[in-house]
Amino acid sequence: MDEIVKAALVKWPNVPDCYGWLGLDARGHWHMRDDAVQRAGAFAGPDPAGRGQRLEHEKLIGFIGRNYEHDERGRWFFQNGPQRVYVELDAAPWVWRLQPDGSLLSHTGLPASYLDSWLDERGRLYVRTELGLGLVQSQDMHLAADWVEQGRWQPQDCLALELPDRFGFVLSPQAEAAQGQAL
């Protein structure tokens, strides 16, 4: 976490959390979701209007990546100064880029090591690392297929809906918060 963020947390400890305004898609891109976009539908829903504006500013993307973490309930967030901005996830909290040497790189630029892998009913490949579970970026599936054929990876079958409970993450902190308010 950036030092400026740590300082802001100390200076303003009681800033309310923010839900629904930031999303991470299956390709590792961040999306800003204003009120109108949120009214259009869920981030991971079938309507692409619910995605919002894809972030392109490299320094902002880097700042988000350096301050991307999870809480004890498995909700991933971006610590934006004193405010915690919970992230709507398309598929998983990490998106992996595969490197020709066999290593993995997260959408935030962190290196990771393969532990095991999972293949869902739609043919999406997930890899568990010491950082957690992530989706293999679709552009890298050719490398992943080679590694599976070589026996380096041996994916297990899974259902995508079971992965959040199995690996301890929340796809939609916004929906969870809304459900909690309704109880």
pLDDT in tens, 32-86: 999 999 988 889 877 778 899 999 999 999 999 999 999 999 999 999 988 999 9
CA distances from 88 to 93, 170, 181 (A): 9, 8, 18
pTM for the whole thing? 0.91
Clarify whether residues 136 and 178 are in a common domain.
no
pLDDT band at residue 182 under the 50/70/90 scheme: low
Position with higher pLDDT, 138 vs 11: 138
Clarify whether residues 119 and 155 are in a common domain.
yes
Clarify whether residues 99 and 57 are in a common domain.
no
Clarify whether residues 154 and 177 are in a common domain.
no
Can you read off the two tokens belonging to residue 168? 């301890």
DSSP 16: P
Q: Are 22 and 85 in contact (CB under 8 A)?
A: yes
Number of domains in the chain: 2
CA angle 58/72/107 to nearest 5° reads 25
Q: Quickly list H helices, 48-170.
A: 58-66, 141-149, 163-167
Clarify whether residues 22 and 101 are in a common domain.
no
Rounded average pLDDT over 16-28: 95
**105: containing domain:** 94-164
